[in-house]
Amino acid sequence: MQRGLAVNILILGSGGREHALAWAVKQNPKCDRLIVAPGNAGIAQIAECASFDILDGAATVSFALENSLDLVIVGPEAPLATGVADALRDAQIPVFGPSAAAARLEASKAFTKEICAAVDAPTAGYAHFDQLDAAKAYINTQTAPLVVKADGLAAGKGVIIAMTIEEALAAVDDMFGGAFGSAGAEVVIEEFMEGEEASFFVLVDGETVLPIGTAQDHKRVGEGDTGPNTGGMGAYSPAPIMDEDITRKALDEIVKPTMAEMARRGTPYQGVLYVGLMIKDGQPRLVEYNVRFGDPECQAIMMRLGGQVLDLLQSCANGSLADANVTWADDHAMTVVLAANGYPGSYEQGTRIGGLSTLPADSFHQMFHAGTSQNGAYIVASGGRVLNATARGVTLAEAAERAYALVDQVEWPEGFCRRDIGWRALKRS
Ligand code: AMP
Ligand code: GLY
């Protein structure tokens, strides 16, 4: 499909992750037409935005054929779970993202645990239930804390850390009672792992595994990691805890065996694999896999990788990762999420955001948009997580200073951010 070097690209999604992906691929001179569906107000400043049902494989294939696209990059997990990547591959359209069968690594926690058991990958001990009574009987034989998880996709909300047996019993009551819809029809009950969490990102083309970066997220809404869980309030890359030894163990003991097992079962994995790890005493254990980039981790990683991302994603899509290289800069990036007051609870929509047009925008500073839309002359908030102030520096402290300098130029009284993103790594250095 490729005509010469110029590449026409479609990115599916509308968040800060997709804005960062769009920004990075656009740095590559090969990038010709860049379309994002559905996009947001910030993405519209650097790409064409299109509107069709991105969960519909046939609609995505038609759009790709009509627009002579050379590469489709799938941002979020939902279109992967509905088989959009399969439809594109069947139509011979190069796509970055796993098949629905391989996307089960995120869509079913029980499936992931079963694969880990098959290859002996270090992870929390677990049991899997589709009946309330059996789940409760099991919980009564365990000691707290326990982690109770809805098996299916629950928008990051299907995980309960139960500090007591009573809380664990209440959690399974809720899940089997339908609190997470069909995602909770089956539950996984896990041993609670202590340690420090890190996210490890690798590209996989079905066979070759290529690490592209590490990051740490901040899931709690409040400073000092307090308050309810969110989609992520800020991230930085690299994660200092992911030293050479831990990275090698994560690859050799967890990631490569899982990928080999997926291929052996006839469902090879193609796309980015987000490996959530818990690290204690120099040993990584798997918390979860996601079949997409983390958001906001992606924003920090894209800032560090820049235009080479397009070559890497293409190599991943066409199965030639064995010949690909990542050029690492010895630098740091941070992204600080600005969210609407009230998030992750209820929040106001449509509030005006000022100060965006005069922000620096270069290879050291980018204000990526998440939940924004254009309302006449104004950019307004249209989601919970709204903006991602992202910056790069020689040190993490420099990246943080630049990211917060961006935050401080935004005029949005109806928004807030955490002021302590990076505290753990900054304390360490
Ligand atoms: P998950 O959706 O599986 O990533 O779970 C969300 C969050 O819950 C993770 O990022 C961890 O902070 C925490 N978590 C999940 N499983 C465990 C576990 N077995 N032990 C400790 N914490 C966990
Ligand atoms: N930031 C966490 C996630 O994307 O799942």
Q: Kindly report, residue by residue over 332-371, the tens digit of the pLDDT.
A: 999 999 999 999 999 999 999 999 999 999 999 999 999 9
Q: Is 234 in the pocket of ligand 2 (CB under 6 A)?
A: no
With contact defined as beta carbons under 8 Å apart, do 154 and 180 qualify?
A: yes
pLDDT given at position 424 = 87
Residue whose Cα lies nearest atom 1 of ligand 1: it is 288
Asked whether 70 and 31 are in contact (CB, 8 A), the reply is no
Residues with CB under 6 A from ligand 1: 124, 147, 149, 159, 190, 192-193, 197, 276, 287-288
Other C-beta atoms closer than 10 Å to the C-beta of 398 total 16
What does pLDDT average to over the chain? 95
Q: Which atom of ligand 2 is nearest to the CA of 232?
A: 1
Smallest CA separation from ligand 2 atom 2, residue:
294
Q: At what angle do helices 16-26 and 308-317 cross, to 10 degrees?
A: 100
Please give the biggest Cα pair distance in the chain: 64
pLDDT recorded at residue 254: 98
What share of the chain in percent tops pLDDT 70? 98
What pLDDT does 179 receive? 78
As a whole number, mean pLDDT of residues 290-310 equals 97
The vertex-111 CA angle with 17 and 316, nearest 5°, equals 45
Whether the predicted pLDDT of 3 surpasses 70: no
Q: What is the pLDDT of residue 281?
A: 96
* Minimum CA distance residue for ligand 1 atom 15: 287
Task: pLDDT band for 389, please (50, 70, 90 cuts).
Answer: very high
Nearest CA to ligand 1 atom 7: 159
Q: Which helix (H) or strand (E) holds 297?
A: helix 297-305
Question: How far, in Å, CA of 413 to CA of 324, rounded?
Answer: 45
- Banded pLDDT at 70 (limits 50, 70, 90): very high
> What is the pLDDT at residue 5?
81
How high is the pLDDT of residue 314?
Answer: 97
pLDDT 10s digits, 251-265: 999 999 999 999 999
CA of 41 to the centre of ligand 2 (A): 22
Probe ligand 1: pick from 159, 229, 295, max atoms within 8 Å of CB? 159
- Tell how far the Cα of 93 is from the centroid of ligand 2, in angstroms: 28
Strands of 372-375's sheet in order across: 352-353, 378-381, 372-375
Ligand positioned closest to the Cα atom of 295: 2
What DSSP element (H or E) covers 7?
A: strand 7-13
Checking if the pLDDT of 327 tops 50, the result is: yes
Mutate to test the pocket of ligand 2, among 218, 290, 337 (most ligand atoms within 8 A of CB): 290
Ligand 1 centroid distance, CA of 159 (Å): 7
Q: What is the pLDDT of residue 381?
A: 98
Tell me: the pLDDT tens digits for 25-62?
Answer: 999 999 999 999 999 999 999 999 999 999 999 999 99
Residue 1: band (very low, low, confident or very high) from pLDDT cuts 50, 70, 90: very low
**Is the pLDDT confidence value at 184 over 70?**
no
Q: What is the pLDDT of residue 2?
A: 44
Best residue among 295, 336, 385 to mutate for probing ligand 2's pocket (most ligand atoms within 8 Å of CB) is 295
Instruction: Calculate mean pLDDT across residues 93-106.
Output: 97
Reply yes or no on whether the pLDDT at 413 is more than 70.
Answer: yes
363-385 burial code (b ≥16 CB/10 A, e <16)? ebbbbbbbbbbeeeeebbbbbbb
Give the pLDDT band (50/70/90) at residue 152: confident
pLDDT of residue 151: 83
Q: At what angle do helices 165-176 and 132-139 cross, to 10 degrees?
A: 170
Q: What are phi and psi of 200, to 5 degrees?
A: -125, 130
Q: Is the pLDDT of residue 155 over 90?
A: no
- For 393, other C-beta atoms within 10 Å of its C-beta total 17
Query: Separation of 277 CA from ligand 1 center, angstroms?
Result: 9
